[in-house]
Structures are given as structure tokens and as C-alpha cells.
Amino acid sequence: MPVYSDKVMEHFMNPRNVGEIENPDGIGEVGNPVCGDMMTFYIKVDDNQLSDVKFKTFGCGAAIAVSSIVSEMAMGKTLEKARKITPALVAQELEGLPKNKYHCSNLGAQALNKAIDDYLKKPGKKVKSKKRRKDEKE
Amino acid sequence: MRKVYLDHAATTPILPEVLEAILPYFKDAYGNPQSLHGWGDDAREAIEDARGRVADLIGAQPEEIIFTSSGTESNNLAIKGLAMAQQSKGKHIVISAIEHFSVLHSARTLEKWGFELTLVPVDRCGLVDREDVAKNIREDTILVSVMHANGEVGTIQPIREIARLAKEAGAIFHTDAVATTGTIPVNVKELTVDALSLAGNQLYGPKGIGALWVKKGVRIIPFLDGGVQEGGRRAGTENVPAIVGLGKAAELAKEEMESRMEHLSALRNRLIGGLLSRNEHVTLTGHPTQRLPGNASFCIEFIEGEATLMLLSSKGVAASSGSACTSRALKASHVLTAMGIPPEIAQGSLLFSLGLENTEEDVDYVLEAMPPIVDKLRQMSPLYAKFLKGERGGR
């Protein structure tokens, strides 16, 4: 087993935001089980902000910890700010990752970006989410 | 918290009797076995005594035993040393696809040195097919090496039958018996092999000691040149304490073989039966019956091995995995791959290797610990989510 930082261990043992979002505004799936890791991020966007982020991950301890910290880092951020979550920042936030696990931090950032891409690809989505909020108020 | 060590395939603990036998050779009996005085005599007698015990365990003659630093060195010496000694007769080598890296990589080195290598496949249970060996042996085949049993999946090979094929073709036959020596009966005459590797830390002896048995009359080229130690076949001052430890471990293994096998098989069957019945989508890897007494190896679908090991470790349980993420090179175990296990399934590899000190309580503790671990990781797994959706959709 690689030597993980306390922060990685903490996020691995108690991962935040595990799960799926029903009717998400964006989904980002990266990796594949053949290569070892697979991450799926689900996002909910309100007023250009990530109002909810959830994930499901198949992979090693680092992959799970990365998913958890990325979800935490992204939560509540504007899309532009969430885009700025780089693999290096993820690794830094986790107090370092073993060298051969760096690719896990890449996957985390990629999965989040892909979910944002997915959201932005659907131009009607923004309107729809606003409309839904209105519906909820009514 | 309870601590349960189930990683005996990596290394066994050292038995108290073995440690006791070793200690004097770290303290007062520090002589060099080659020296011509009392100190030397004591050390020489000690290693010759150990040589006799190791020979006795495998049904060999003491002078046929070469002490080495490890199973890895034994395999290197066997593959390279036997091939080099036979190269005037041909340059073709046959090994199985699931050999330990010390055999596989030695054979790859020989390839670079101009030898030709054929890997014979294994079936889904990890068994080498005799037909495949027969098909691949050629006129210029000089060396065939197939491991006695694979520590990762536990499958025991029909060595006697495979050895016969090699011998009929005039090739030397070597077997890596690191996983079996001291664990199940290993007799060089019954196995009809020409060379056999073993290691101390697999039979409750110390690390840093191994042995290669080479049948009298079979030539081998040494690759540690120097003094006359080990009959000139392995130079370097003998590791006296470790050799003494291996001797003691061999003696105990021979005495207790039957009761050890009974103990380990019972625990193994309890662990396999319990794990399969309490967890869904888990498969046993390796052969269902022809397997090492202490080996319980599985693939747990939809989750990854390293994450499983980490959660087990948090419960005090030590195990291992052949998943890509657990290896430094991030490659799935070549053994599981050779057995045709798909990479995404191999990712869920989990190996429990039992040992003498384990109890039924240990096994039950692990059986209790596993379902919540599997469940926790599956709840996180997108593969499991997809599987469940697919299943629902199918109905």
C-alpha cells in the first residue's frame, strides 16, 4: 500500500458527497475500469454556481480521496472558479500524493470539467434550472 | 483492535524455535565456516547440519543443496545458470506464463543474451496444460521451468507429468517450489525434477535465505564468482544465522507437515465458504481443489483491490491484491491476466494467505469485517450503479 498523507486517509475513510444527483445539470465520466479508475461527477448549477456536486468512483484509495476533495473544493464555486481546480491544486489540498498516483488527481479535475462541459453543451439547461426554481417557489 | 495477519504469501512470521536456533550465531558463534579453527568448525558444522535438514525435507542429498540469499536468487541462478551450462545443446527455453518475476525476468534476460523463449499459457484455473508444454518443446529446448504452485492464486501444477515431457525431450526441468516447500509435501524424486528453488521466509524461517537444489550430475554455471563456498557454485561468506534458521524451519516443517496442512485447509475452506456465501458477485480465483492449503484468493466485482486493502487494514486485517492500483507499475497481476481474467475484474483481486498462527476466530473476524467493506465501496462504485441499473432494466 502506498504511503498516503493523513488528509488522503481522512477523505478515503470518510468521503464527502458520495452519490448521484437525480436530474443533474451535468455529468462527467472519465477513466475506465480496464485502466483501473473510473470517476463519474454529477453537478447541479444555479445562477452559474455549483449548488451541488456528487460523485461515484471505482478505484484505489487515492482515486476516492481525490474525488471527495474535488467535490468539496468545487461546491458553491462559480463555473469559472471551478474550472480553475487543477490536478496540482488537488494534490496540494490533499497534502501530497504518491508519484504513481498523480494520475488520480488528473482524473478528478477532468471529471469535474467534463461535467461542466456537459452542462454548458445544453444551452436550454440554464433557463430550465431557473424556471424550475420558479416552479418550486410557486 | 484485533490484528489478523493474512499475508503469508508475502512472508511468514519466524517461529520462536527458529529464532532461538539462530541467535547464538549472531552472538558467540560468529566464526567463518571456511576458517580452520574452533570458531570456523562450529559455524561449518552448523551450516552442514542445516544443509542436511533442508535436503531431508525435500528428499535430496545434502551436497546437492546450494544456499542462496533468497528464492529470487535461487530462481536467477537456476534459469540463467542451467541455460548457460546447456547452451551448446540449444538455446530454447520454455516457461509458464504465470511464473514469478524472478523466473520470468531471468528468462527475458536470457532472451537478450540470444536465447529463445516460449511462454506456455494457463487455463482459467491457472493450470498449465501438458499438451501445450508438449507442443512447445523442440529439439533445441534445453530448459523447461514451471512453478510447483502459484502463491497468488494457489494453483498446484502437475509437476511430475510436465517434468516427464521435458525429460523425454532431453531438456532440464526446474521448478520454483518457493510457495510449496514446507507447506505441502515436496520430494525431488517423486516430482522427478532436476532443479528446485525454495525460500526461508515462506516456511517460517528468516528472510534473506533461500536454496537451490540441483540434482547431482546436472551442470550449472555460477554467477557469483569468488571463493569455494557452496562447492564453488555460490561464492561469498555464508549467512550462517539465516542458514541455521532455514535448517530449523525445514526440520519443523517436516515434523509438522500433516497437522499444518490440516489446520490451514480447514481455515481456508471456512474462509472461502464464508466469503462466497456472505458476499455477492465474488469469485474464487485459482483451482477449486488443487490449491495451496492456506490460499484463499478472490476477485470481488465492482470494487478495487487497494481500496479494499485499506479498509481491511483499518480493521486490523492484512491481506494483498493483484490489482493494478496496488502495484508500483500500475499493472494488473500478470498471473490473473494470464488466467484470462478481464482487467476490470482483476482490479478487484483480493488474496488472503493463511498461516499457522491463524485461528477460526481470525477467519470469522474477517468474514464479519468484509460485507460492510464491500458494501461501502460498492455504494461508491459507478460500475455497481451501472450493474444495478442494467439488471433492473433487464427485468
Chain B residues in contact with A3 by the CB 8 A cut-off are none
Residues A37, B380: C-beta atoms closer than 8 Å:
no
**Residue of A35, A84, A122, A133 marked catalytic:** A35
Which residues of chain B neighbour A59 with C-beta distances below 8 Å? 304, 307, 325
For the cut 90, the answer to whether the pLDDT of residue B113 exceeds it is: yes
Closest Cα in chain B, distance from residue A20 (Å): 9
Q: Per-domain residue ranges for chain A?
A: 6-120
Residue B380 to residue A64, Cβ atoms within 8 A: yes
For A56, B311, B367, B377, the CA distances from B372, given in Å and listed in that order, are 17, 10, 10, 9
Read off the amino acid at residue B272: I
- Of all residues in chain A, the one with the smallest CA distance to B320 is A1
* Local confidence band at A124 (pLDDT 50, 70, 90 cut-offs): low
**Summary mean pLDDT of chain B:** 96
Task: Count other C-beta atoms under 10 Å from residue B113's C-beta.
Answer: 11
Three cell numbers written together for B249: 524451519
Tell me what the mean pLDDT of segment B249-267 comes to: 98
Exposed, middle or buried by CB within 10 Å (0-12, 13-18, 19+), for A14?
exposed
**Average pLDDT estimate for B262-267:** 98
Write phi, then psi, for B154 (nearest 5 degrees): 85, -5
- The distance of A138 to chain B (nearest Cα, Å) reads 33
Which residue in the list B30, B219, B231, B325 is annotated as catalytic?
B325
Sheet containing strand B349-353, strands side by side: B282-284, B295-300, B349-353
**Could you tell me if A56 lies within 8 Å of chain B, comparing CB atoms?**
yes
Partner A contacted by B325 (CB < 8 A): yes
State the burial class of residue B48 (Cβ atoms within 10 Å of its Cβ: 0-12, 13-18, 19+): middle
Closest A-chain CA to B346? A34
Tracing cell 523425454 back to the chain, one arrives at B168
d(CA A43, CA A50) in angstroms, rounded, equals: 7
Place of cell 455477492: B280
What percentage of residues in chain A have a pLDDT greater than 70? 88
Terminal CA-CA length for chain B: 44
Whether residues B304 and A37 touch (CB distance < 8 A) is answered with yes
> What number of other Cβ atoms are within 10 A of residue B377's Cβ?
23
CB distance from B385 to chain A under 8 Å?
yes
Contact criterion met (CB < 8 Å) for A34 and B344: yes
B262 grid coordinates: 490440516
A27 touches chain B (CB under 8 A): no
Q: Are B68 and B77 in contact (CB under 8 A)?
A: yes
3-state secondary structure of B214: strand
B386: its cell numbers: 451501472
CA distance A121 to chain B (A): 23
* Residue closest to B128 by CA, chosen among B147, B101, B142: B147
pLDDT digits (tens, 9 = 90+) for B48-92: 999 999 999 999 999 999 999 999 999 999 999 999 999 999 999
State the Cα angle at B112 between B108 and B113, rounded to 5°.
115
Contact A1 B310 (CB under 8 A): yes
CB contact under 8 Å between A34 and B310, yes or no, is no
B395 vs B134: CA distance, rounded Å: 48
- The residues, ordered by sequence, that sit 6+ positions from A30 with a Cβ below 8 Å of its Cβ are A38, A39, A107, A110, A111, A114
Q: Is the pLDDT of residue A135 over 70?
A: no
Is the Cα dihedral B253, B254, B257, B259 positive or negative?
negative
Banded model confidence at residue B395, pLDDT cuts 50, 70, 90: very low
Half-sphere exposure of B173 (CA within 13 A, CB side): 23
- B325 catalytic residue (yes or no): yes
The single-letter DSSP state of residue A43 is E
pLDDT score, position B184: 98
Strands A49-58 and B195-199, sheet pairing: unpaired
Cα–Cα distances in angstroms (integers) from residue B36 to residues B31, B41, B44, B185, B352, in the given order: 10, 7, 10, 38, 48
**Count of beta carbons in the 10 Å neighbourhood of residue A121:** 9
In chain A, the N- to C-terminal Cα span, in Å, equals 54
Partner A contacted by B310 (CB < 8 A): yes
Best A60, A66, A68 member to test B by mutation, with max B CBs in 10 Å, is A60
B324 in reach of chain A (CB within 8 A): yes
Residue B381 has pLDDT above 80, yes or no: yes
A13 and chain B in contact, CB less than 8 A: yes
- Tell me which DSSP letter residue A82 carries: H
| Predicted pLDDT of residue A125 | 55
Q: Does B343 sit within 8 Å of A33, measured CB to CB?
A: yes
- Which of B313, B323, B325, B344 to substitute to test the interface with A, most A CBs within 10 Å? B325
Instruction: Tell whether B343 lies on the interface with A, counting CB pairs under 8 A.
Output: yes
Q: For the packed helices A102-121 and A61-74, what is the interaxial angle rounded to 10 degrees?
A: 40
CB contact under 8 Å between A64 and B324, yes or no, is no
Please answer yes or no on whether B307 and A61 come within 8 Å at the CB atom: yes
B326-363 residue pLDDT tens? 777 778 899 999 999 999 999 999 999 999 999 999 99
Q: What is the pLDDT of residues B291-336, one digit of tens each?
A: 999 999 999 999 999 999 999 999 999 999 999 887 777 788 999 9
Using alpha carbons, select from B9, B47, B1 the residue that is nearest to residue B264: B9
Q: Which of A11, A35, A39, A58 to mutate to test the interface with B (most CBs of B within 10 A)?
A: A58
Q: Work out the pLDDT band at A32, boundaries 50, 70, 90.
A: confident
Q: Residue A126: pLDDT band by 50, 70, 90 thresholds? A: low
DSSP B8: T
Return the closest-CA partner of residue B376 out of B318, B310, B320.
B310
Interface check for B379 against chain A (CB to CB < 8 A): the answer is yes
- Helices and strands counted in chain A (H then E): 6, 3
Where does the pLDDT of residue A99 fall: very low under 50, low under 70, confident under 90, or very high at 90 and above? confident
This prediction's pTM:
0.93
A132: pLDDT strictly greater than 60: no
Amino acid at B105: H
CB contact under 8 A, B310 and A12: yes
Residue in chain A lying closest to B376 (CA): A13
Q: Which residues in chain A are contacts of B381 at CB distance < 8 A?
A: 56-58
With a pLDDT cut of 90, the percent of chain B lying above it is: 96
Q: Over 70: is that where the pLDDT of B220 sits?
A: yes
Residue A138 in this model has a pLDDT that exceeds 80 = no
CA gap A85, B27 in Å, rounded: 59
Alpha helices, DSSP H only, in B142-239?
Answer: 159-168, 188-191
Count of C-beta atoms within a 10 Å radius of residue B228: 9
Contact B202, B183 (CB under 8 A): yes
Query: Is B381 within 8 Å of A57 when comparing Cβ atoms?
Result: yes
Strand ranges inside B168-300, DSSP E: 172-176, 195-199, 210-214, 282-284, 295-300
Complex ipTM value = 0.89
Mean pLDDT of all residues in chain A? Answer: 89
Average pLDDT (A41-67) is 96
What CATH fold (topology level) applies to the domain A6-120? Sufe protein. Chain: A (3.90.1010)
Q: Which residue has the higher pLDDT, B197 or B393?
A: B197
pLDDT at A129: 46
The reported pLDDT for the residue numbered A133 is 46
| A111 interfaces chain B, CB cutoff of 8 Å | no
On chain B, the residues whose CB falls within 8 A of the CB of A1 are: 306, 309-310, 313, 326
